[in-house]
Amino acid sequence: MPLRESDTVELKREVVPDICKEVIALANTKGGTIYIGIADDGDIIGVHDADAVMLQVNNMVRDAVKPDVTMFVSYDVEDMDGRQVIRIGVQRGTNRPYYLGSKGLKPSGVYVRHGTSTDPATDSAIRQMIKESDGDSYEAMRSLEQELTFTCAEKEFARHGMELGHAQMKTLGMLTQENIFTNAAYLLSDQCTVSIKLATFAGSGRLEFQDRRECSGSLFTQLEKAYAYIDMHNKNRSSFQGLYRIDTRDYPEEALREALLNCCVHRDYAFSASTLVSIFEDRIEFVSVGGLVDGIELEDVLLGLSVCRNPKLAAIFYRLDLIEAYGTGLRKIMQAYDKAERKPQFQVTGNAFKIILPNTSSSAMAGETVCENSAGISMLYSAMDKPETTVMNMLAARGTIVRSEVEQQLGISQASAIRLLKYMSENGLIKRVGRGKSTRYIK
């Protein structure tokens, strides 16, 4: 009885360029057999040089299929009706999904077997295969995106006198032993699409929206831009004790830093939702996706117990001095508010963790005298005014401005003007043109 194609049998008259797709499909599904030298209708054609054909197919599979699947592929020569037929046995692999190295971990490179057909796998099927092979740890799973660059991460490592090369990436869990990028690498890459969304509201409710930002790219870039935005809204307020002026900021900088890092290190990146930072007149709320790790209660965390959801990411941040040790973040937030009347609050649900930092000057309302904003700009203005707005109005009237004009207009120091203009440039509000003394700013 002639052979027929099925979900585990594929017939090929001769070696064809897409035979690697058939190997991938069988290795990703239930395994099976590929016969070379048999037509689709079961007619036995045979091959002329069996050894040469086996060597050709072995080289094609070894060079084209990632990760290495050769240990799950065997080659034999069978005699059928006096003709030599190549029998290729393919087992279901343990490092699924297998894919064409030239296409990557996406539907155009990953194939599965459906009946007698070899089809591209769906994104959900690819994710499921990765989960089954790599386990539940998101950061240890192979990244669906393999065309990654690390410009920002390399600069961050270089700033601390460290190299981020191939060997270091393997040590840090960013590369597998098969040189495949993991999700830990993806989160630190320039191509990362996970984001932090920030919004500012008037008053203590969400009815009057004022401004928003979205930070994407490498987590290092996100953290820097998000903190700069928050810091711009962390005003300095002045009071007097006798002849002496006392300056205090609305929010302790240590608390803001730890809250932002907590959202970054401990969130569940398996969810696509963004980390949210909402700035109100009387508080700042940080909401990260993913509740506490199973078996851990909020009281445990406040006592210092920490079961890290992303240990590889935390280890990298520890090496770069961004975090000191596991389990200290929330305690440091509480310590930053040690002398404040209102204390931070923490709320946990099954899928989210919220940190609420109260404004230590929450009695201040629009119209109060405020000295210095977060960029260190010494001036008097209404709490609802923004130095960015003044700069934009200057540009609207003049078309181009220089730093000294901003200093004079706002009554601030050179360093404060530089910080303000840098922040506005990095967030796309203005554009810097020229270098050195010829530097100017336009819209």
pLDDT tens-digit profile of 135-172? 778 898 999 889 999 999 999 999 999 999 999 999 99
Using 50, 70 and 90 to split pLDDT, how confident is the model at 246? low
- Dist. CA 182–CA 313, nearest whole Å: 11
> Facing residues of 25 across strands?
none
pLDDT at 377 over 60: no
Using 50, 70 and 90 to split pLDDT, how confident is the model at 243? low
Instruction: Write a three-state SS string for the chain.
Output: CCCCCCCCEEEECCCCCCHHHHHHHHHHCCCEEEEECECCCCCECCCCCHHHHHHHHHHHHHHHEECCCHHHEEEEEEEECCEEEEEEEECCCCCCCCEECCCCCCCCCEEEEECCEEEECCHHHHHHHHHHHHCCCHHHCECCCCCCCCHHHHHHHHHCCCCCCHHHHHHCCCECCCCCEEHHHHHHCCCCCCCEEEEEECCCCCCCEEEEEEECCCHHHHHHHHHHHHHHCCCEEEEEECCEEEEEECCCHHHHHHHHHHHHHHCCCCCCCCEEEEECCCEEEEEEECCCCCCCCHHHHHCCCCCCCCHHHHHHHHHCCCCCCCCCHHHHHHHHCCCCCCCCEEEECCCEEEEEEECCCCCCCCCCCEECCCCCCCCEECCCCCHHHHHHHHHHHHCCECHHHHHHHHCCCHHHHHHHHHHHHHCCCCEEECCHHHCEEEC
> Facing residues of 65 across strands?
100
User: Can you give the pTM of this predicted structure?
Assistant: 0.65
Cβ(251)–Cβ(359) below 8 Å: yes
- Mean pLDDT calculated for residue range 51-60: 94
- Dist. CA 280–CA 427, nearest whole Å: 20
Q: What is the mean pLDDT of the chain?
A: 86
Residue of 423, 418, 442, 417 whose CA lies nearest to 432:
442
CATH code of the region 196-309+317-374: 3.30.565.60
What pLDDT is stored for residue 413 in this prediction?
73
Tokens of 141: 């799973």
Q: What percent of the chain has pLDDT above 90?
A: 51
Tokens of 384: 């609802």
- Dist. CA 12–CA 15, nearest whole Å: 7
What pLDDT is stored for residue 227 in this prediction?
94
> How many other CB atoms are found less than 10 A from the CB of residue 70?
11
> Facing residues of 248 across strands?
237
**Could you give the residue range(s) of every CATH 3.30.950.30 domain in the chain?**
9-133
What pLDDT is stored for residue 366 in this prediction?
37
Q: What percent of the chain has pLDDT above 70?
A: 91
CATH code of the region 386-443: 1.10.10.10
What pLDDT is stored for residue 368 in this prediction?
37
What pLDDT is stored for residue 110 in this prediction?
96
**Could you give the residue range(s) of every CATH 3.30.565.60 domain in the chain?**
196-309+317-374
Cβ(239)–Cβ(248) below 8 Å: yes
The residue with greater pLDDT, 371 or 196, is: 196
pLDDT at 367 over 60: no
- Mean pLDDT calculated for residue range 370-380: 37
**Could you give the residue range(s) of every CATH 1.10.10.10 domain in the chain?**
386-443
Using 50, 70 and 90 to split pLDDT, how confident is the model at 408? confident
Residue 336 CA, chain-centre distance (Å), reads 29
What pLDDT is stored for residue 89 in this prediction?
95
Is 9-133 assigned to CATH 3.30.950.30? yes
pLDDT at 10 over 90: yes
